[in-house]
A = this chain, B = another copy of it.
């Protein structure tokens, strides 16, 4: 409705408006939206599930400014840098809105010389992308990031990140999912043995990254046509990227005559084996797929990469949900902090980002379909009076209840479980009438027991 209204108002404004009022457009900027009380209620539910998981894993929380010095973001995002929002030069520093939470995190670590931290960060990031708002793609959107920085036993933090994705997606009950896993070293090793020149690793990797959206034929023709790869090399890649599986596939590739000769690939496969052993101990391999077609867009990954994909939607009536796809992703980036440190000192990092906007849009649509009523306040009691003149007495009672920490309202609202009624006779008798909305039952409660009675009747 908000969008409809905005559209109509925009048309009206363009037609000149009435009463010589200035033409103005009553809307939020392109690719952004307001969160009304209902959306906020969903948002807080999801955040609370995610935060309690992050805390269970011992994370601290940090926050950084919404903008960074422009140079802090320069050279971190490859081709996607064109999507960064810059601030106008109004004198002083050149600033840009943050594009993700990972680069600010790396800047924070380098600036404060922190070499060991487990932290989460939930905040909005900004991308001048083509919005697809019904599918949860916005220009202003939340990221929920959990990262582990520091030196640990190999693959232990990486396994924990996957455990976290598993816990959160299970907890939110979004339907069946699979977490695809790969390693940048395996990809680079694969490119090498397929005959891709070193200088083309990153751009060919970007092509492979498109495989979850377009068929192999198209990706192949991009590699050969646009990026000048030999058809033979492309075909060799084509064979590898079909492969996905578990420990068995890892064992097979460790025996692969070509890959096993490549140092990077061998390292990556060895670590992948260790990772799967840990995931087996965690009991979550059922949802994990080692997938050679997974590449991830960002430049800064150096080891394990992963992405969680929803396999089906819960509600078959809502056609648009097809394609919501990826709901979490992440990986290891051991070089990023070093880019900020004046001496280039590295801090190994691995992290996961939960794609919260997609999850919101799934839950919003599900809620709309279900007609479940969502409460947007926590009000326990409505204070009313039968007689007009009792405003003073009502205010006294209201003040008393507020001071006792009771959540109340003095005007109509939906979903409030109790009504406290101030009446003349009751005042004389030293009682307050309490109506239980669900049952329409009414009881007189002695004034001094009222707080306790409300607490008792509204605690679950």
Contacts and interface: CB of A to CB of B under 8 A. Distances in A.
A408 B58 contact: yes
Interface stretch (A65-73, A219-227, A310-318, A345-353): A65-73
A55 B407 contact: yes
Interface string A7-34: 0010011000111010011111110111
The size bracket of the interface on A is: 35 or more
B377 A55 contact: yes
A348 to B, nearest CB: 14
Interface of A: 1-2, 5-6, 9, 12-13, 17-19, 21, 24-30, 32-37, 40, 43-44, 52, 55-69, 71-72, 85-90, 92-93, 95, 97, 107-108, 110-113, 119, 124, 126, 128, 140, 152-153, 156, 159, 163, 167, 278, 281-283, 340, 342-344, 376-379, 391-392, 395-396, 399, 402-403, 405-411, 413
A285 to B, nearest CB: 12
A85 B87 contact: yes
B86 A63 contact: no
Nearest to A36: B62
Given A5-B111, A111-B5, A376-B60, A65 B342 contact: no
A152 to B, nearest CB: 7
A307 B332 CA distance: 50
Nearest to A397: B281
Contact of A40 (B37, B63, B159, B413): B63
Given A26-B342, A40-B60, A86-B88, 14 more contacts: A26-B107, A33-B65, A34-B64, A34-B111, A34-B112, A36-B62, A40-B61, A57-B402, A59-B377, A60-B376, A61-B376, A85-B90, A163-B399, A167-B403
A282 B85 contact: no
A94 to B, nearest CB: 9
B28 A68 contact: yes
Copies in the complex: 2
A226 to B, nearest CB: 25
A392 B88 contact: no
A379 B85 contact: no
Contact of A5 (B69, B113, B128): B113
Contacts of A391: 153
A-B pairs, top 6 by smallest CB distance, nearest first, are: A37-B60, A32-B65, A58-B409, A35-B63, A86-B88, A281-B395
B112 A5 contact: yes
Given A61-B40, A87-B85, A406-B56, A69 B111 contact: no
A392 B278 CA distance: 8
Contacts of A278: 395
Nearest to A170: B403
A111 B26 contact: yes
Given A113-B5, A140-B66, A342-B12, A58 B25 contact: no
Contact of A65 (B34, B37, B406, B408): B34
Contact of A392 (B9, B281, B408): B281
B409 A34 contact: no
A18 B343 contact: yes
